[in-house]
Amino acid sequence: MPGLPTISVIIPVKGGGDVFRQCLASLAQMEPRPAEVFVVADGPSDGSAELAEEAGAKVLRLPACGGPAHARNVGAQEARGEILLFLDADVTAPPGLVGRVAEIFAKQPELAAVIGSYDDAPGAPNFLSQYKNLLHHYVHQTSHEEASTFWTGCGAIRREVLLELGGFDESYRVPSVEDIEFGYQLIRAGHRVRLVKDLQVKHLKHWGILSLIHTDFARRALPWTRLILRTHRLPNDLNVRVSGRASVALAGSMAASLLLAPARPAFLGLAAGCGLALLAINLPVYRFFARKRGLLFAIAAVPWHWLYFFYSGLAFALGFVQHVLGGHAPVETPAGKR
């Protein structure tokens, strides 16, 4: 399309399986087409590289698993598009995504990056997958358009900006908060990131009890806590907005009150008060669940949402103790130091 920036799509993949096949199929439906699609196979062959080659993508094979941050950096070095559009291997993209991204950057030359969200129709039908992905959709759709960080599930950035900042921190060897950390760098460097709410992809991931709690606790909340304490950056946005912080405190207080109630029944009243406050603060998201999936779904989501606040608080407490005992001073990650 004349006058629009060229777009390179970059997808890191490890153990892609059938959801990756669906991701590739959605790329084939894109109109206009991206200038190039790079698939970075992270580690020994598991069939994902072959799938990508059959779909016509440019495949970069990494001999050892270095993590998605490293894979994205490798793809960014090889890509030649003016805009790098990062997608996860477990999403499908709508046909007009590339054109919409190109249009946004053409109309807003001051923007360094844009991010989107998951849509409101998750691919996996089980309750936890619907709950988790709908919650993500809600959080992004109700957050500030002037974004405070970056997201690689569906995020695009000017290639020159990413290379200038040195790319993603490759010390993250598993999917974690490497995109959030990079987003903080973008903002510190004075760049603008915009959350574009009509940029949406469908998440196909199947969430189970163990995978959900492990990912939320060990790969998100705990490393995000360390990042916050290291950088002293706690924006009122996305998952760390003030209402979320208040909910974490209330969930922890309710749990402590219930533990103390057998010895002092008066604590039951405090626990009930915390529960009512949690309901009041989070009523908008429960109404959203009810609109999308019905009242019974919304009721079933409440304990899972409260559990999320509880173990997020545990992760923050653990991260704080580690920070204090480790004597970590707040530091800035120098641009280009990876």
The pLDDT of residue 231: 84
For residue 268, report the phi and psi dihedrals to the nearest 5 degrees. -60, -35
Residues 6+ apart with CB under 8 A from 310: 248, 251, 252, 255
The pLDDT of residue 237: 61
Residues 6+ apart with CB under 8 A from 194: 104, 108, 111, 113, 114, 115, 145, 146, 147
Number of C-beta neighbours around residue 91 at 10 A: 24
The pLDDT of residue 233: 77
From CA 49, how far away is CA 31, in angstroms rounded? Answer: 24
pTM of the shown model: 0.92
Alpha-carbon distance values, 52 to 65, 177, 254 (Å)? 18, 26, 49
pLDDT in tens, 193-234: 999 999 999 999 999 999 999 999 999 999 988 988 888 877
Number of C-beta neighbours around residue 40 at 10 A: 29
DSSP 221: I
The pLDDT of residue 74: 98
The pLDDT of residue 234: 74
The stretches in the chain having pLDDT less than 50 are 1, 328-338
The pLDDT of residue 330: 39
Write down all domains in the chain, each with its CATH number in brackets.
7-207 (3.90.550.10), 238-326 (no CATH)
Instruction: Decide: 72 and 123 in contact? Cβ < 8 Å.
Output: no
The pLDDT of residue 256: 96
DSSP 190: T
Instruction: Decide: 169 and 182 in contact? Cβ < 8 Å.
Output: yes
Beta bridge partners of 85: 9, 156
The pLDDT of residue 197: 97
The pLDDT of residue 238: 66
Element housing 240 (H / E): none
Tally the C-alpha atoms within 13 A of residue 336's C-alpha that lie toward its C-beta: 2
Beta bridge partners of 40: 12, 60
From CA 223, how far away is CA 136, in angstroms rounded? Answer: 18
The pLDDT of residue 51: 95
Q: In what order do the strands lie in the sheet with 111-118?
A: 58-62, 36-42, 7-13, 83-87, 154-158, 111-118, 192-203, 91-92
- Dihedral angle sign, alpha carbons of residues 142, 147, 150, 152: positive
Q: Tell me the pairing of strands 154-158 and 83-87.
A: antiparallel
The pLDDT of residue 232: 80
